[in-house]
Amino acid sequence: MATRTASEFAIRRCTASDAKMLGELAARLFTEAYGPTHPEPELSRYLARSFSVDKVRGEITDGDVTMFVAEDETTHPLGYAFLRKTKELPEGVSSYNSFEVVRFYVEAAAQGRGVGAALMEKCFDESRQRSADTIWLQVWKEAPWAIGFYTRMGFSAVGSASFYFGEQVGDDQIMSRTL
C-alpha cells in the first residue's frame, strides 16, 4: 500500500517486478552522489556488481530484506531505501534485534521536499513492526550532507568501518538509533 503525502509523492514496498527499475535507479543515484569521487573503470564494475537485475531481484525477495521506493505522481522514482535484518553487528552497535539501512538515496532534484524523511520513517516503521530495537547504517565520513540528514533523523555516530571500492578504501562512520 502506498503512502501519499502532501508533497505529491508516494512510497511503496518494492516487489520482484521492480528489480529492473530499482537497479537502474540505484545505479543512477549512486553515480549522482559518488561518481565524481569514485572514478572509472571501477565505477562501472561496482555498478554492474551491485545493481544487476538478478542481484536486485534476489535482494528484494530475501525474507530479511525490505525495499521501498518513493515515486512522484507520474511514478517517476525519486529515491529508495534498502533495509535488512542483521545477524552480525558492527562494533559500536548494541542490539538484540536490529535492522541495517544498507542503501538510502534520494535524487538531488527531490531533496528538501520531505522524500528522505518519509522514506526513513518507513524504515523505522518496518523495523518496529518486525520487533527491532535498533536501526543502524554505514555512511561515508566525507559526505556531510548525508551525515547531517541521518543526525536530524535521530542517528548518532557509534563507530567506524572501511568501504572498499576497487583500490580505494573509504573511511565510513557507523551510525545507530534506538527505536
57-81 confidence digits (pLDDT tens): 999 999 999 999 999 999 999 999 9
3-state secondary structure of 101: strand
The per-residue pLDDT of the chain, averaged, comes to 92
pLDDT of residue 4: 42
pLDDT of residue 7: 58
* Nearest C-alpha neighbor of 134 from the set 91, 102, 103, 94: 94
Q: Which residues neighbour 32 within 8 Å (Cβ) at sequence distance 6 or greater?
A: 107, 108
Q: How far is CA 33 from the centre of its chain?
A: 13
Query: Which strands form 9-13's sheet, in the order they lie side by side?
Result: 3-4, 9-13, 65-72, 77-86, 98-106, 134-140, 168-178, 156-165
**Model-level pTM?**
0.90
pLDDT of residue 34: 80
Q: How many angstroms separate the CA atoms of 103 and 83, rounded?
A: 7
pLDDT of residue 39: 77
Q: How many angstroms separate the CA atoms of 48 and 23, rounded?
A: 9
Tens-binned pLDDT, residue by residue, of the chain (179 aa): 454 444 589 999 999 999 999 999 999 999 988 877 777 888 898 899 999 999 999 999 999 999 999 999 999 999 999 999 998 999 999 999 999 999 999 999 999 999 999 999 999 999 999 999 999 999 989 889 999 999 999 999 999 988 777 777 778 999 999 99
- Intra-chain end-to-end CA distance of the chain, in Å: 23
